[in-house]
Amino acid sequence: MAEKGKDILKAADLLSKNALVSIPTETVYGLAGNALHVDAVLKIFEVKNRPSFDPLIVHISKLSQLENLVSYLPDNARTLAAKFWPGPMTLLLEKQSIIPDIVTAGLPTVAIRIPDHPLTLELLSILAFPLAAPSANPFGYVSPTTAQHVDDQLGDKLSYILDGGPCQIGIESTIIGFSNETPVIYRLGGKSIEDIEKVAGKVLVKKHSSSQPGSPGTLSSHYSPNKVVKLGDLTSFHGRIDLARTGLLRFKEYVAEFPKENQVVLAHSGELKEAAKNLFAAMRDLDRMDVDQIVAELLPEEGLGRAINDRLRRAASSA
């Protein structure tokens, strides 16, 4: 178990000594270390058991910090940053040499965002360096949305968990690169395509394959519980699976003819925002249930529904 609390000075002190601290954000909890120090960054890869080809996101608290970290800012990046930061959006920008190559896995671009959480913004504002932070879960597993989720899996490898309560968005940031001025979505996330297109014009969405991921870490099989996940309506599996050994992930309502204790509903309100906030905790609940497999219903393919479906498809993928 790691110590949990709201002590920003303690977190800052540990981070200044190259120790790792888990930080709350509006999307998911991060596993943070000094982004400008190779020793701290190496520890992140080690604790997460993350392959070194998978680059990290660098977290800052002020737009002015970009000046020292990136060498070029497309107009559209400036527009998006002004509109959506702090918030669940990460921009891929040409990096300056102050950022160690290990942070970007040798890529010429660095992923940067300003997260929207009061504790972490305050922490970042007193630090003399930005924080590299992947989601605070073992590589490939479901991201954590509470301090307890972090403690459950990485507690014995961490110095401190800054406890900022449950994450309000609940799904990782949308990652956006630029092809000249055109935004290219590398990972669907907490900021919807519809919102992005309103301020930055038409976007392209990068397609991924498991062997050649467009964004090194966006492998098809990811965000996965330990149990087998199958996608679809319960009726489509009729006669093919053992219903007594199945857990259901549902969008708005329970299936009447199925035991309630084997079901998790994402959003009784029917709102995609609520579903996103509950998604990862629901996957963890289903993973702990005494069942052999999970059948997950896909959500409407719009707004945050697209990002939720993306995570469900990856959870279901074995590639």
Instruction: List residues binding Mg ion (CB under 5 A).
Output: 135
According to DSSP, the β-strands at 30-34 and 21-23 are antiparallel
Q: Is residue 90 classed as helix, strand or coil in its secondary structure?
A: strand
Q: Which residue is nearest to Mg ion (CB)?
A: 135
Measured from the CB atom, the residue of 134 and 305 that comes closer to ligand TXA is: 134
The total of other beta-carbon atoms located within 10 Å of residue 279's CB is 28
Distance CA 313, CA 20 (A): 31
Q: How far is the CB of 173 from ligand TXA (least distance, A)?
A: 3
202: exposed, middle or buried (Cβ count in 10 Å: 0-12, 13-18, 19+): exposed
Distance CA 245, CA 242 (A): 6
Find the binding residues for ligand TXA in span 147-176 (CB under 6 A): 172-173, 175
Residue 183 is a binding residue for ligand TXA (CB under 6 A): no
Q: Which does 130 bind (CB under 5 to 8 A by kind): ligand TXA, Mg ion, none?
A: none
The total of other beta-carbon atoms located within 10 Å of residue 9's CB is 9
The total of other beta-carbon atoms located within 10 Å of residue 225's CB is 22
Q: What distance, in Å, lies between the first and last C-alpha atoms of the chain?
A: 33
Q: Which does 133 bind (CB under 5 to 8 A by kind): ligand TXA, Mg ion, none?
A: ligand TXA
Residue 304 is a binding residue for ligand TXA (CB under 6 A): no
Binding flags for ligand TXA, 189-218, as an x/- string (CB under 6 A)? --------------------------xxxx
Tokens of 304: 């945050």
Binding flags for ligand TXA, 47-66, as an x/- string (CB under 6 A)? -------xxxx---------
User: Out of 19, 42, 107, 121, which residue is the one contacting ligand TXA (CB under 6 A)?
Assistant: 107
What one-character DSSP code corresponds to residue 234? G
Residue 90 is a binding residue for ligand TXA (CB under 6 A): yes
Q: How far is the CB of 181 from Mg ion (least distance, A)?
A: 28
Buried b (16+ CB within 10 A) or exposed e, 43-67: bbbebbebeeebbbbbbbbeeebbe
Find the binding residues for ligand TXA in span 215-274 (CB under 6 A): 215-218
Measured from the CB atom, the residue of 28 and 267 that comes closer to ligand TXA is: 28
Give the interface with ligand TXA as residue ranges (CB under 6 A): 25, 27-28, 30, 54-57, 90, 92, 104, 107, 109-111, 115, 133-135, 172-173, 175, 186-187, 215-218
